[in-house]
Amino acid sequence: MTVTPRIYLASKSPRRRELLRQIGVNFDVLTFRAGARGDDADVDETPLAGEAVDHYVERLALAKAEAGVRRVLWRRLLARPVLAADTTLELDGEIIGKPIDSADAHAILARLSGRQHRVLTAVAISDGERTRSRLSVSEVRFRTLSEHDIRRYVATGEPMDKAGAYGIQGHAAVFIEEIRGSYSGIMGLPLFETAALLEIFGYPV
């Protein structure tokens, strides 16, 4: 009997899980326990001084994949490749991550209103011997948002766990005039790049 290969997904994101299932990848979620031990905390997502956005997002994806491999070893789990990803926005050269509260979400959406921004998602895979990554860069243009648009959207709670304070797969889809790039990359896991990486590690999609 043929055993279907599996990987670990080092992410709690339900959107990434959904996208992996969409392309038929079998995976187990590898959780990080913040604070349980000094070296088993989540990866520090603080940008380095003067760090370019593309370097930042790829550095984090690589760090998450490598941290996932360490956890596989610590927990004595079955050895499998670990897939991780990181998504961030760039506007006016500034890194825009997840909002810290509803006021921050409101401020971010007000900045995105009527403008074009970049969404960068890096995906990385590591098996402990090899670590590889790919970067997806997309452009998104928002229509002009009214104060009512922003308040109503923030009140849904949807912006709170998402880079740039919105999810393209949710209600914010009505704000988007145009995208250039990868829809799945904007969601948080670019499937073209993910499939290419999986093939390198012997997991053809």
pLDDT tens sequence across 25-56: 999 999 876 543 344 456 888 888 889 999 99
* Ordered domains of the chain (ranges, CATH): 6-200 (3.90.950.10)
The torsion angles phi and psi of 186, rounded to 5 degrees, stand at -70, -35
pLDDT tens sequence across 95-116: 999 999 999 999 999 999 999 9
Q: What pLDDT does residue 35 have?
A: 42
Q: What pLDDT does residue 74 have?
A: 92
Task: Render 57-106 in DSSP notation, one character per residue.
Answer: HHHHHHHHHHHHHHHHHHTTPPP--EEEEEEEEEETTEEE---SSHHHHH
**Residues classed as catalytic:** 86
pTM (2 d.p.): 0.91
% pLDDT > 90, the chain: 85
Nearest to 32 by CA among 56, 16, 11: 11
The 8-class DSSP code of residue 160 comes to G
